[in-house]
Amino acid sequence: MTVSVLLVDDEDLVRGGLKAILETADGITVVGEAADGAVVVPLVRSLRPDVVLMDIRMPLVDGITATRDLRSRLDQPPKVLVVTTFGDDENVCAALHAGADGFLPKRARPDEIVAAVRVVARGDSLLFPAAIRALAAAHGPRGGPRREAPELTPREAEILHLVARGLNNAEIAAELYLGLQTVKTHVSSLLRKLGARDRTQAVIAAYETGLVPLS
């Protein structure tokens, strides 16, 4: 199966570099480019990419707004991978809350970029556990009222901690000596109880509610 990608960045050199990296990888093709988030929704409607590589900072419509528009205006939006810097905590946090499936540093190696596209294309969230924890610590309640925590079973709580560590379903199954389908069922229940669309948002919610400690 070929993964189709739309590149969205206001810098021609960045788009050119990403295109050169992705089109040398087996099973990945770049189907389009855009220089601003304002044209992302109509482009996605016409090109139907599997993954959008989205810059956050753009002159007219930023990547956060464009991501939110994709989630709210399309019945079957593509996966969104925001490309930014880990130092840009506030915008990364906002992008994840807007529905991005993961984030990637602009200085990532070519093999990391290719791997990230494949990860989100197959339906997994791209988690950087330490970075997610830092974002939650920096942008949490800060002494205000904590988000209410749902009631989890002991097994769900155990699996949530492993998800927060960045383990995928197969790794969790091996760690807990459970069947893969059993883990998938527990993860689906976690997402529902936390009101999370994917694993990334589940981890953010876990920190915000205190279900997983920041330290």
Q: List, for residues 171-214, the tens digit of each pLDDT value.
A: 999 999 999 999 999 999 999 999 887 787 788 888 888 888 86
Which residue among 91, 126, 161 closes a domain? 126
Do 122 and 92 share a domain, yes or no? yes
Do 21 and 121 share a domain, yes or no? yes
Residue 47: predicted pLDDT: 96
| 41 has pLDDT over 90 | yes
Percent helix / strand / coil, the chain, rounded to 5: 50, 15, 35
d(CA 198, CA 67): 15
d(CA 136, CA 134): 5
Do 122 and 159 share a domain, yes or no? no
Q: Is 56 helix (H, G, I), strand (E, B) or coil?
A: coil
d(CA 86, CA 50): 24
Do 65 and 167 share a domain, yes or no? no
Assessment of whether the complete model's pTM goes beyond 0.85: no
Do 101 and 31 share a domain, yes or no? yes
With respect to residue 138, please indicate whether it lies within any of the assigned structural domains: no
Tell me whether strands 51-55 and 3-8 are parallel, antiparallel or unpaired: parallel
How confident is residue 91, by pLDDT bands cut at 50, 70 and 90?
confident
Do 111 and 32 share a domain, yes or no? yes
Angle between helices 89-98 and 63-73 (to 10 degrees): 10
Do 29 and 108 share a domain, yes or no? yes
With respect to residue 143, please indicate whether it lies within any of the assigned structural domains: no
How confident is residue 103, by pLDDT bands cut at 50, 70 and 90?
confident
Residue 190 sits in which domain range?
148-209
| 36 has pLDDT over 80 | yes
Residues forming a β-bridge with 119: none
Do 100 and 172 share a domain, yes or no? no
With respect to residue 137, please indicate whether it lies within any of the assigned structural domains: no
d(CA 185, CA 155): 11
